[in-house]
Amino acid sequence: MSHDGRQIWPALAIMGVGILALAVTLKAAQADMPMQPTWIMGALAGLYLVLALLAEGFHWRSLVLLAAMALAHAFTALLMGWGYAAVEGHPRALIPALQHGLWDYLPGTALQFGFACLVGIALDVRLEPGVEDAEEEPEEPEAEPAPGPDLSGAADLPAVLAAAVACVGVAAALVAADTVQAAGVWAGDPQAAWRRVQAMVARGGTGLHSLPLGEVSLLIRSEDGRTAAVLVTAELDQPGAHDILRQLWNAGQREWGARE
């Protein structure tokens, strides 16, 4: 049950105490005000039935709702009847107190009807199909983004590039420092691809960049004159694309370190 669901019944109880105190306070300053004509009570019962059917339709839940509102009305009337008797100085037994609360003070009867309707509204929310299941079901933790394919098994930088473009969603890959190596659609003219990547770096500066280019995205990492870039399609999500870029950069770092 949610935090709000746990609060609704204590809130109703507090409101009921307030309604009871209001009715008793009003009665202490006034004489009896019998409900006339008496068929009004039947009309209230009819209203409870109509409200239950409107809320739940022709379903067993409507009977539960109707019974709950009727019981709430009767219980509130009993407490009010005892309260009236207390301020009047004439103690009453159970049945006389119930009758006194139901019939003898019209403002109290109106407050009973209002409180019973509030109980019906609260119960209707609890009876909604699936509400309990939805509230009791623990929230599933957000799934961690799946990493990109592991390229660590490749023997050298050209093999890493070839493995990268073999992944679904990777159209091209490039690693450049003193030389340029490329694979995929950039393999035919690595220098031209490198010049385009350099132009992007010149506009955005060094660091990590993700550039949407229509139906593809260009991811670049450039630091200290060394660059890794990957061109991906929508078939590969961004976490996977960034993971491939990271592996390309690490492979370039290993090769650059070996040359130094």
Q: Give residue limits of the domains in the chain.
A: 3-136, 157-259
So what's the pLDDT on residue 131? 46
Main-chain dihedrals φ then ψ at residue 147, nearest 5 degrees: -70, 160
Torsion from C-alpha of 158, 164, 166, 169, nearest 10 degrees: -150
Main-chain dihedrals φ then ψ at residue 226, nearest 5 degrees: -110, 140
Read off the pTM.
0.45
User: Whole-angstrom Cα distance, residue 213 to residue 44?
Assistant: 68
Strands of 226-233's sheet, edge to edge? 180-184, 170-176, 226-233, 216-223, 207-213
So what's the pLDDT on residue 3? 43
Rounded to a whole number, what is the distance in angstroms from the first to the last CA of the chain? 63
CB 76 within 8 A of CB 116: yes
pLDDT tens digits, 50-90: 888 887 778 888 888 888 888 988 999 899 999 999 988 88
The amino acid at residue 242 is H
pLDDT tens digits, 178-223: 889 999 999 999 999 999 888 888 888 888 888 888 889 999 999 8
The β-bridge partners of 181 are 175
Q: What is the mean pLDDT of the chain?
A: 82
CB 162 within 8 A of CB 184: no
With a cut of 90, say whether residue 130 has pLDDT above it: no
Joined together, the tokens standing for residue 245 give: 């870029």
**Per-residue pLDDT band at 110 (split at 50, 70, 90):** confident
- 135 vs 236, more confident: 236
With a cut of 70, say whether residue 129 has pLDDT above it: no
* Mean predicted confidence (pLDDT) in 3-18: 75
CB atoms within 10 A of CB 70: 17
* Mean predicted confidence (pLDDT) in 249-258: 78
CATH domain 157-259 topology: Beta-Lactamase (3.30.450)
Joined together, the tokens standing for residue 57 give: 């339709």
So what's the pLDDT on residue 94? 92
User: Whole-angstrom Cα distance, residue 61 to residue 128?
Assistant: 9
User: Whole-angstrom Cα distance, residue 102 to residue 72?
Assistant: 12
Alpha helix ranges (H) inside 57-130: 60-88, 94-103, 106-127
So what's the pLDDT on residue 141? 54
With a cut of 60, say whether residue 230 has pLDDT above it: yes
Is it true that the peptide bond before 34 is cis, omega within 30 degrees of 0? no
**Per-residue pLDDT band at 137 (split at 50, 70, 90):** low
**Per-residue pLDDT band at 1 (split at 50, 70, 90):** very low
If DSSP codes are grouped into helix, strand and coil, which group holds residue 144? coil
- 25 vs 36, more confident: 25
In 3D space, the residue among 236, 235, 204, 234 whose CA is nearest the CA of residue 220 turns out to be 204
So what's the pLDDT on residue 91? 86
Joined together, the tokens standing for residue 185 give: 């659609």
pLDDT tens digits, 139-169: 555 544 444 566 766 668 888 888 889 888 9
So what's the pLDDT on residue 154? 66
So what's the pLDDT on residue 175? 92
In 3D space, the residue among 174, 183, 185 whose CA is nearest the CA of residue 252 turns out to be 174
Dihedral over Cα of 17, 18, 20, 21: its sign: positive
What percent of the chain is predicted at pLDDT more than 90? 16
So what's the pLDDT on residue 32? 86
